[in-house]
Amino acid sequence: MLLEELEKIVGPRAIKTTADAVHPHVTEWRGQVEGKAAAVVQPASTAEVVAVMRHCLAHSVGVVPQGGNTGLCAGGIPDESGTQIVLSLTRLNRIRAIDADDFSLVAEAGCVLSDIQDSAQRAGRLFPLSLGAEGTCQIGGNLATNAGGINVLRYGTARSQVLGLEVVLADGTLWSDLRTLRKNTAGYDLKQLFVGSEGTLGIITAASLKLYPRPAAAQTAFVAIDDAKDAVPLLANLRGALDDQVQAFELISEVAFDFVLRHVDGARSPFDSRSPWYVLIETTAATTDALEASLMEALRTGLARDATIAKSGAEAAELWRLRHSISEAEKHEAPILKHDISVPVGRMAEFLDRSRAELRANWPEATLVAFGHVGDGNLHYNVALPKTWDDAQRTAEGARITQSVYALTGTCGGSFSAEHGVGRTKRDLLRTLGDPTGLDMMRAVKSALDPRGILNPGKVI
Ligand code: FAD
Ligand code: ZN
């Protein structure tokens, strides 16, 4: 009955119900979580989203919004009941407006991130949000998860890029404020409520976004360092020397690097000898002079053991490919326990010292595969579990390792979810580690905006 009504709204070709057609929408990127759905519905306009939500509310059917389905916390995957529908935003993929003088762009939620970057570039502007999944993830998903990525150091997270939003609420009410105002203090900043809400408060259908001048030049360097701790003073020195023109600063452990060299076609190290840690740096200085001088100083003082600066765009792209391939390469290796943690940058060294000591003392057979956006205090603190462990050991010891990582993250004033969100896989963690007053406020917001609980049920809170 509901499905017939939905078919009338979106047309027969935009509703999928066969197992084969539904499967990619109910399976998480790594294949670790799989749900069931009554249907995958793909509206082509905001008006269709409004009509879909009205019908789903009338039938009390849970709605799981989905963008590119690259999220790493199963936030866009329905539960196992088979009663929920997946609302895929893929067909809402128009750039509605671009205004170079206003440094703004209005995009529909289903626009792929790299398409938005390209549109900005054609207009002579920069849209700085950038992450490994940018060829697949969609701006609606980026905003719903408040995605971070590699340029947060200079430009901030997805949250900082939003000027306005168009959102369909749980009962089908349309709230639209796509004004591109830089300043507006008329009441609560409602758009920010939806950013990072992971589809639990409303369906984002469009966004107006901030654009920036394109940097005149970009310099990319790859640096070998002895210890991850050295990355923190190295970054501080570079920021000082380069007048804060460091736009990305990515840490890569030797183990993560080896995974890439083993599994990614054509990947090769820029250095002859190995190093326990590497950093990939991108700056937007006009010339390489300051970068070169700063790296020479780092080599002299021992903060760095080797360094190379890309001589061409192609060389820079090769270096970036090494970084962007880590998540893909990990898939081919041992079972990996993933942690997306953040701590204040100033306590990164303490966190690394203490966490590595704990890992060595209690789980000497496990291997740390850390990498990430160390300039933001954000580490993908992943642990490769020994292949010799059986399923029971992986579950039990894995849980203990995770517990110790999160306990230490808390001690260092950090967060168990830096940029991937809570979704389904970290919901219990939020319940146990979240601040009780903060959780009460989140529940109050949720019940005000979605009193019947049909938006992404079972996610976040
Ligand atoms: P989905 O996975 O489809 O959905 C994610 C969440 O948003 C779900 O809860 C879903 O319900 C909700 N949602 C989606 N669209 C909407 C909408 N229109 N309205 C309301 N709710 C919606 N993340 C980072 O932050 N930084 C990284 O560096 C990074 N690197 C990655 C690298 C790889 C290789 C991969 C696979 C993922 C990476 N991610 C990273 C995670 C992921 O790409 C981001 O979380 C991304 O923002 C998700 O976008 P998506 O369109 O795929 O969303
Ligand atoms: Zn990341």
Residue 107 CA to residue 345 CA, distance in Å, equals 33
User: Residue 334's pLDDT is what?
Assistant: 78
- Alpha-carbon 60 to chain mean position: 31
The closest residue, in CA terms, to atom 18 on ligand 1 is 140
CB-ligand 1 contact for 110 (6 Å cutoff)? no
Distance 128 CA to ligand 2 centre (A): 15
Atom index in ligand 1 nearest the CA of residue 205 equals 18
Residue 337 CA to residue 327 CA, distance in Å, equals 12
DSSP line for 366-426:
-EEEEEEEGGGTEEEEEEEPPTTS-HHHHHHHHHHHHHHHHHHHHHTT-BSBSSS--TTTT
Closest listed ligand to the CA of 134: 1
Distance 340 CA to ligand 1 centre (A): 14
| H or E element in which residue 437 lies | helix 436-449
User: Residue 132's pLDDT is what?
Assistant: 87
Q: Which residues of the chain have pLDDT under 70?
A: none
Residue pair 194/202 in contact by the 8 Å Cβ criterion: yes
Q: Strand pairing partners for 125? A: 213
The closest residue, in CA terms, to atom 45 on ligand 1 is 71
User: Residue 333's pLDDT is what?
Assistant: 84
Q: Strand pairing partners for 87? A: 41, 65
CB-ligand 1 contact for 199 (6 Å cutoff)? yes
| H or E element in which residue 88 lies | strand 85-88
CB-ligand 1 contact for 141 (6 Å cutoff)? yes
CB-ligand 1 contact for 43 (6 Å cutoff)? no
User: Domains of the chain by range and CATH?
Assistant: 2-88 (3.30.43.10), 95-213 (3.30.465.10), 219-329 (3.30.70.2190), 334-411 (3.30.70.2740)
User: Residue 108's pLDDT is what?
Assistant: 98
Distance 12 CA to ligand 2 centre (A): 38
Q: Give tens-digit pLDDT for 60-82.
A: 999 999 999 999 999 999 999 99
User: Residue 156's pLDDT is what?
Assistant: 96
CB-ligand 1 contact for 377 (6 Å cutoff)? no
The contacts of residue 428 (CB under 8 Å, 6+ apart) are none
Closest listed ligand to the CA of 207: 1
- Torsion of the alpha carbons at 345, 346, 349 and 355, rounded to the nearest 10: -70
Closest to 445 in 3D by CA, of 204, 198, 186, 193: 193
CB-ligand 1 contact for 203 (6 Å cutoff)? yes
The closest residue, in CA terms, to atom 31 on ligand 1 is 132
User: Residue 328's pLDDT is what?
Assistant: 86
CB-ligand 1 contact for 131 (6 Å cutoff)? yes
User: Residue 335's pLDDT is what?
Assistant: 85
User: Residue 148's pLDDT is what?
Assistant: 96
The closest residue, in CA terms, to atom 28 on ligand 1 is 149
Our mutation pick for probing the ligand 1 site, out of 33, 48, 137, counting the most ligand atoms within 8 A of Cβ, is: 137
Three-state SS at 222 = strand
CB-ligand 1 contact for 84 (6 Å cutoff)? no
Atom index in ligand 1 nearest the CA of residue 327 equals 34
Atom index in ligand 1 nearest the CA of residue 29 equals 36
CB-ligand 1 contact for 420 (6 Å cutoff)? yes
What does the angle CA 436 – CA 438 – CA 442 come to, to the nearest 5 degrees? 115
CB-ligand 1 contact for 78 (6 Å cutoff)? no
